[in-house]
Amino acid sequence: MAYSALCDLLKPVTIDTIEASRSKIKAHKFIFFGPLRTISLTQRTARRYLILLLVLLVISTVSGFIVSVSNSLSTEIKALVGDGDTYVTQTAAGLSSIEVDLDELANANENPLQISLEDARIKPEVRTKIDGLRSRLQDLYYVQDRMHQKVKLIFQITSLSELPIPQEGDLSRLPVLENGFDNVRSYYLERRSVTAAQQLVYVLNNLYTALVPLLLGAIGACTYVLRLMSQQIADTTFSSTSPIRHFVRVALGALAGVAIGLGGFAPENGLSAAALAFLAGYALEPVFATLDAFAAKFRQGT
């Protein structure tokens, strides 16, 4: 009777859980390098899950930063494209109007597009048009440079290859009308190349939207595992089968995060999809109990 009472006091501590807490595994002090030292299975498992949690947090934070900055830059690029379209339309209209005036001024063997805009034959009212055109072109240059800078930044933070760098002008006064038409053509080519950056941001945004529930579900499960292991260490209940059970829980947590985060659930408490994914990974039992209830209803045909 005394032995039975002693066993009841020790339960659930077993020989297996005591053995798991003993130091018998050789491991490097700093994971992959450093002097070898003897640690227990409990220590090694706790260290591995702590590292896994930190890695998942870093991946989630970095990917969130990249997508957030890329989306912000993409929004700014769209606004710049709108401004640029306005400026280039006004510029093209001004070029066409001045071309008509220069055509009347040109001799039989002169190309109006090659006449110097400083020519003394140009009338004062046409010079006013030319000054307005030059001012509008400066606005167009500014927008085009800003567009390229933001696209370049998108490719830098995503560590992908960059778009071809356009040749920068010296911002001097427009010498002949033909150069103005070249500037308009250059803007449209630059705008077309910006589409590649916009598509990249779209792909990144959708990839992150699909990835974040998985990451947060795994983070929630890792948080629970570390909390559980802390209690197991205190109670000496960590056994040799605990590592595989904890690993399975993290895998199921990631799966639950994807199922809940991307499943379109709208709880009454107003939690976001990210919070739901984390909660699903942390509290697996209620999630799978709900799924089991749904499955039972399907089996019953209701």
pLDDT tens profile 72-131: 888 898 899 999 999 999 999 999 999 998 888 888 788 888 888 888 888 899 999 999
Residues 208-223 have a mean pLDDT of 90
Asked if residue 172 and residue 94 are part of one domain, the reply reads yes
Q: Which residue has the higher pLDDT, 187 or 37?
A: 187
> How far, in Å, CA of 201 to CA of 46, rounded?
38
Q: Which residues contact 72 (CB under 8 A, 6 or more apart)?
A: none
Q: Which residue has the higher pLDDT, 287 or 3?
A: 287
Residues 195-199 have a mean pLDDT of 78
Q: Which of 146, 174, 203 is the last residue of a domain?
A: 203
Domain span at residue 87 reads: 66-203
Asked if residue 52 and residue 92 are part of one domain, the reply reads no
Asked if residue 177 and residue 56 are part of one domain, the reply reads no
Give the per-residue pLDDT at 247.
94
Give the per-residue pLDDT at 166.
54
Nearest of 67, 91, 196 to residue 140 by alpha carbon: 91
Percent of the chain with pLDDT over 70: 88
Cα angle: 203, vertex 205, 207; to 5 degrees: 65
Residues 152-165 have a mean pLDDT of 70
Cα angle: 284, vertex 290, 296; to 5 degrees: 130
Residues 267-271 have a mean pLDDT of 60
Nearest of 161, 163, 131 to residue 149 by alpha carbon: 163
Q: State how far the alpha carbon of 76 is from the alpha carbons of 26, 79, 143, 206, in Å.
A: 55, 5, 11, 19
Q: Which of 180, 203, 226 is the last residue of a domain?
A: 203
CATH (domain of 91): 1.20.58
SS3 120: coil
| Statement: residue 269 has pLDDT above 60 | no
Which tokens sit at 100? 């008509």
Give the per-residue pLDDT at 25.
78
pTM of model > 0.75: no
| Statement: residue 57 has pLDDT above 90 | yes
Number of independent structural domains in the chain: 2
- Confidence label for 33 from pLDDT (cuts 50, 70 and 90): low
